[in-house]
Amino acid sequence: MTSQTSSVIPDTTVEEAHAAVTGGRPWQRWVLLAAGLVVALSLPWFIYPPVAMDIAAIALFAVALDILLGFTGLLSFGHAAFWGGSAYVTGLIAIHYGVPFPLAILGGAIFAMILAVPIGFLSVRRSGIYFAMVTLAFAQMVYFVAYQWQDLTGGENGLQAVPKSFFGITLVETDAFYFYYAAIPIIMLGMWAAWRIVHSPFGRVLVAIRDNAPRARALGYDVQKYKVLAFVLSAGLSGLAGGVFAISHGFVALPALEWTQSGEVVLVTVLGGIGTLWGGIAGAFVIVTMEDQLASSGFEGIGIISGTVFILVVLLFRRGIWGTVRHYWLQYRARKHSSS
């Protein structure tokens, strides 16, 4: 593993790395997928539906970042540009054209991918902390444009009254519970796309680049090209999540483009366990539900609690929540196999 990524990517055994790419045994994958589907469909029955939608959107955002961070070894502090940029474009399409919200979200995701092409092309020329700082600089530029272009974005006021148009179905357009079930297929489609990216030959090349870029280059792979493609795909999925978030809340504001939004998704991804995909889902569930409970109780120091939880997880569970569970499960399976 190169020194450029060792500070970001946790140490893994050969079996863990293989499991991260292949997903483990087929029956285990199907059990996990079935369990995830059940949880996703039942979530609004146990959690306030708008909060459940936030968990799903942030989870997809974290999974999108994990493609870049966990599987390519690139730490981006600028993904708020794609999350927030897509949210603004989704809101503008929904407001001015009145199309069903899935089409508006698709338009936002396409914009995020287009925006990611020049940013990714210029950013991947650097690595390590320099890559992170370059992506942060580009994200701040996008924030500045949104702040100054008040006629289009609303400036400090943002976009208000973003409609939830959905083929004239009133229940979906007015009730958050039914909206969740109309929007969750979009999140699931994004999750499936992330899973396919990681479990494809393309994903295996990304892991090879993460572990040893010079060796991957020596084998004939265009490392820069693969990094840019990973960056664009990650941005597209981030945009998909940002669009759902915008429609769910009915407004888009400048905080969606702030650097703190990028920092939060990095926290969620690391908390859940980078290089796992499932970790992003676990991290989103923990952070969003915790922040919602603290906000509901009137507690104002939410950042202090979130930071404390993050520090404890990093110190005690170096691989993150899901990464630690997977690590001990693989150890148990290896002991069981060696004793048989």
Write down the pLDDT at residue 27.
Answer: 67
Among the listed residues 281, 286, 275, 339, the one whose alpha carbon sits nearest the alpha carbon of residue 310: 286
User: Are 5 and 76 spatial neighbours (Cβ–Cβ below 8 Å)?
Assistant: no
Q: How far apart, in whole angstroms, are the C-alpha atoms of residue 132 and residue 138?
A: 10
286 in any annotated domain: yes
The range of the structural domain enclosing residue 138 comes to: 14-339
Does residue 1 form part of some domain?
no
Residue 8 falls within a domain, yes or no?
no
Considering the domain boundaries, does residue 5 fall inside one?
no
Number of domains in the chain: 1
| pLDDT value, residue 294 | 84
pLDDT, residue 26, reads 66
Which tokens is 103 given? 């089409």
pLDDT at 6: 40
Q: Within the chain, which residues score under 70 in pLDDT?
A: 1-27, 340
Q: For the domain that residue 278 is a member of, what is the CATH number?
A: 1.10.3470
Task: Report how far residue 236's alpha carbon sits from residue 64's, in angstroms, rounded to the nearest whole number.
Answer: 8
The CA distance from 110 to 63, in Å, is 18
Helix 176-198 / helix 223-249 crossing angle, nearest 10 deg: 170
Predicted pLDDT of residue 15: 41
State both tokens at 156. Answer: 């400090």
Q: Supply the pLDDT for residue 45.
A: 93
Please enumerate in sequence order all residues whose Cβ is within 8 A of that of 11, keeping only pairs 6 or more positions apart, or say none.
1
pLDDT at 20: 45
Classify residue 259: in a domain, yes or no: yes
The CA-atom distances, in angstroms, between 167 and each of 101, 103, 182, 227, 242 are: 9, 11, 11, 39, 21
Residue pLDDT, tens place only, 145-166: 999 998 898 888 889 989 999 9
Q: Tell whether 4 is covered by a domain.
A: no
Q: Whats the size of the chain, residue-wise?
A: 340
Is the residue at 68 inside a domain?
Answer: yes
Q: Are 253 and 88 in contact (CB under 8 A)?
A: no
Q: What string of H, E and C letters represents the secondary structure of the chain?
A: CCCCCCCCCCCCCHHHHHHHHHCCCHHHHHHHHHHHHHHHHHHHHHCCHHHHHHHHHHHHHHHHHHHHHCCCCCCCCCCHHHHHHHHHHHHHHHHHHCCCHHHHHHHHHHHHHHHHHHHHHHHCCCCHHHHHHHHHHHHHHHHHHHHHCHHHHCHHHCECCCCCCCCCCHHHHHCHHHHHHHHHHHHHHHHHHHHHHHCCHHHHHHHHHHHCHHHHHHCCCCHHHHHHHHHHHHHHHHHHHHHHHHHHHCCECHHHHCHHHHHHHHHHHHHHCCCCCHHHHHHHHHHHHHHHHHHHCCCCCHHHHHHHHHHHHHHHCCCHHHHHHHHHHHHHHHHHHHHC
40, 51, 176, 275, 292 from 295: Cα distances, Å: 23, 12, 20, 30, 5
How many whole angstroms separate alpha carbon 126 and alpha carbon 129?
A: 8
Average pLDDT, the chain: 86
Question: What's the pTM value of the predicted model, to 2 decimals?
Answer: 0.88
Residue 9 is assigned to a structural domain of this protein: no
Burial 228-265 (b: 16+ CB within 10 A, else e): bbbbbbbbbbbbbbbbbbbbbbebbbbebbbbebbebb
